[in-house]
Copies of this chain bind each other. A is one copy, B any other.
Amino acid sequence: MSYDFLSHILSLVRSRQPLVHQITNYVTVTDCANASLAIGASPVMAHAPQEVEDMVALAQALLLNIGTPDEDSIKAMLMAGMAANAKNIPVILDPVGAGATPYRTKSSERLLSELRISIIRGNQSEIRALLGLSGETRGVDSVTAEADFSAMALEAARKFNCVVAATGKIDYVSDGKKCLAIYNQHPLLQKVTGTGCMCSALVACCVAAQPTEPLEAAATAVAISGLAGEIAAAKITPSLGSGSFHVELINAFAEISPETLQKNARIKYV
């Protein structure tokens, strides 16, 4: 099987510069905007009921991230999501902290039941929580033991009838039929806030550029995230900390060429 989609989809992001409407949390929103710009897309944040329908109509994808949820933001997500669905604009959900509190789990379930979601990108604890399985989400960080996560990604993709990117030590991306495993990663990605949120933003940018291949778009974004973590970690060795890693991560998003991605992504169908 071919993995040529990696360089192809990144090239499309760079050439098409898609507009990505993001309704997200106030902790990592700046990083999501800068990561989107760095890989070549154009982010726009808007949440008022007076404008979300107009804004999403201009966009090529809509990202919904519940990192700091409340009733107003969930309503804005539903309104924007319905407008996106009506226009066949792909909707990406990041169910941040699902499983940590009932409110986050229920809000995720509500978005999944009332909207047609194209791609879910969450850590493996969050995906587990959406499946109603036991396990633990600690705050917004994943602590579930590594297990048969490829089966879990497949199951979630079937249950929610969408592509699921379940990230962890190994990342799994499935559309319910096929499953890709991605082995790029670096532990420092856990030491900077927003690396999961940025990964979801990149997923939205990639599917915005190539809406007909959501599985491949999600896998491309996940591979970019992991590889950028590796590149950034190499840059700061041996003596710098997470502040410099954060800067180098954005640098890496901007600097990764389609060829570098194709050459260094460690990906396979499992």
Across-interface contacts of A44 in B (CB, < 8 A): 97, 100, 139-140
A193 and B34 form a contact (CB under 8 A)? yes
Cβ of A247 and Cβ of B243 under 8 Å apart? Answer: yes
Interface string of A130-156 (1 = CB under 8 A from B): 000000001111000000000000000
Give CA–CA (A216, B248) in the complex, Å.
Answer: 35
Given A243-B249, A244-B251: A191 and B38 within 8 A (CB)?
yes
Q: List A225-270 residues whose CB lies under 8 Å from chain B.
A: 239-244, 246-255
Check if B139 sits within 8 Å of A192, measured CB to CB: no
- Contact segment of A1-9, A23-31, A121-129, A157-165: A23-31
A41-67 vs B: 1/0 string, CB under 8 Å?
A: 011111110110011001100000001
Asked whether, in the complex, the Cβ of A33 is within 8 Å of the Cβ of B252, the reply is: no
Cβ contacts under 8 Å, A58 to chain B: 100-101, 138-139
Closest B residue, CB atoms, query A53? B101
Chain B residue contacts of A59, Cβ below 8 A: 139
**Inter-chain contacts of A54 with B (CB < 8 A):** 100-103
Q: How large is the interface on A (under 10, 10 to 19, 20 to 34, 35 or more residues)?
A: 35 or more
B33 lies within 8 A of A30 (CB): no
Cα-based distance from A69 to B50 in the complex (angstroms): 9
A243 engages B33 (CB within 8 Å):
no
CB contact list, A184-207 vs B, under 8 A: 190-194
Of all A-B residue pairs in the complex, the 8 with the closest CB atoms, nearest first, are A243-B250, A241-B254, A241-B251, A44-B139, A51-B103, A33-B193, A54-B101, A48-B70
29 A-B interface contacts by CB (under 8 A): A19-B138, A21-B139, A25-B45, A26-B29, A27-B45, A30-B31, A33-B193, A34-B192, A34-B193, A37-B190, A38-B242, A42-B139, A42-B141, A44-B140, A45-B68, A46-B68, A46-B97, A46-B101, A48-B71, A48-B103, A51-B69, A51-B101, A51-B102, A58-B101, A240-B255, A241-B254, A244-B251, A246-B247, A246-B250
List the interface of chain A (C-beta within 8 A of B): 19, 21, 25-31, 33-34, 37-38, 42-48, 50-51, 54-55, 58-59, 67-71, 97, 100-104, 138-141, 190-194, 239-244, 246-255
